Amino acid sequence: MNRVIDHNGVERWLGNIEPPVGHIAKAFTVYGDTPDAPMFARSEWPAMIVKFPAGPDWPYLPYVHDQDGIGQCNADATVTMAESCRLSQGLPFVALSAADLYDRINGGQDQGSILEDAIEEMLERGVGTVATCGTLWKRGMVKAPAAERVRFKFLEAYWCPTFDHHMSAVLAGFRLNSGIMWYDNYTPDGDGWLPKGTGGAGGHSVFGYKPAMRGNQFGIWHQNSWESRWGIGGRCVFPEAAYKGQVGGWFAVRSVVDEGGVVPPERSA
């Protein structure tokens, strides 16, 4: 399955594909293996989560992307991580081009992509802007120059092997890319939580940003790339149960290249 009909009756595309047989996974630092990527015990989570505001709001969310009929979910989730990092670092907002990233990881056709390829590209080469490349991939599209891409790179990225790693990362202020199986009954309830998955499913990739808790259930708020009419203003909670197995990986990112901001030089009165 590579597309679903959402609760608005709109056809939505997925695009997170499993690596081919024989694929050798790229090596990433494992979250929790370094002191600056701390793990938090499950028993600590509730007291931490209640300090986060309830609901979908969060101060450093960029606009809700719309992959609009293209299988570029992974690229949208990944560049949204970068856009969000820039906002929290106090850098001016720049709309980054999922199309420019997808163009380099989709094998030349709209067939979806692998999460680790997107993360690696963002670590090594970066991504161009919407102003240069547009938002949606198409064959023969304008490519961003290397000098532009290098301004928008990840500085570090971690692979999260379990939900506990992923939750620890978001508690510590990391931005997430969650590769999961997306079920065709995945319509958020009134609180934004996805139900238990049933029916057909396909790989999807979504940007995650904040922990959530309901009763004794943990989850993570995500911003989908299906424009803001979907879900709660484009957002939903992935319950822990949605993390049944990695589909392409779960990744955490904290910061992007700092090209300088807007604090004025000190001048005499």
Partner 1 sequence: MRASIHAAFFAVAFAATCQGQGPSIEIPSEIKATGRWVRLSPKTDAVGVLYVALDGEEAFPSEELKDPRRFLFDTKGLNGRYRFAAIGASATGELVRVDFVVIVGNGPTPTPPGPGPMPPDPKPPDPAGVVKFLVVVEETADATAARGIYLADLTLAARLKDKGIKIRVVDKDVVGTDGKPPADVARFIADARDKPLARVYLVDEKGKTIFAGNMPADPARLIELLSRFGG
Please report, as ranges, the residues that interact with partner 1 according to CB under 8 A: 35-38, 40-48, 50-53, 57-60, 88-90, 150-151, 170-174, 210-211, 213, 215-216, 254-255, 257-267, 269
Asked if 200 contacts 217 with a C-beta cutoff of 8 angstroms, the reply is no
By beta-carbon proximity to partner 1, the closer residue of 174 and 183 is: 174
By beta-carbon proximity to partner 1, the closer residue of 135 and 223 is: 223
Contacts of 51 (CB under 8 A, 6+ apart): none
By beta-carbon proximity to partner 1, the closer residue of 2 and 89 is: 89
Q: How far is the CB of 10 from partner 1 (least distance, A)?
A: 30
Residue identified by tokens 């802007």 is 129
Q: How far is the CB of 168 from partner 1 (least distance, A)?
A: 9
Distance CA 18, CA 13 (A): 16
Asked if 122 contacts 175 with a C-beta cutoff of 8 angstroms, the reply is no
Distance of CA 94 to the CA centre of its chain: 17
Q: How far is the CB of 153 from partner 1 (least distance, A)?
A: 8
Q: How far is the CB of 238 from partner 1 (least distance, A)?
A: 17
By beta-carbon proximity to partner 1, the closer residue of 190 and 260 is: 260
Distance CA 207, CA 88 (A): 15
Widest pairwise Cα distance in the chain? 68
Q: How far is the CB of 40 from partner 1 (least distance, A)?
A: 8
By beta-carbon proximity to partner 1, the closer residue of 43 and 109 is: 43
The closest of 158, 17, 134 to 74, measured between CA atoms, is 17
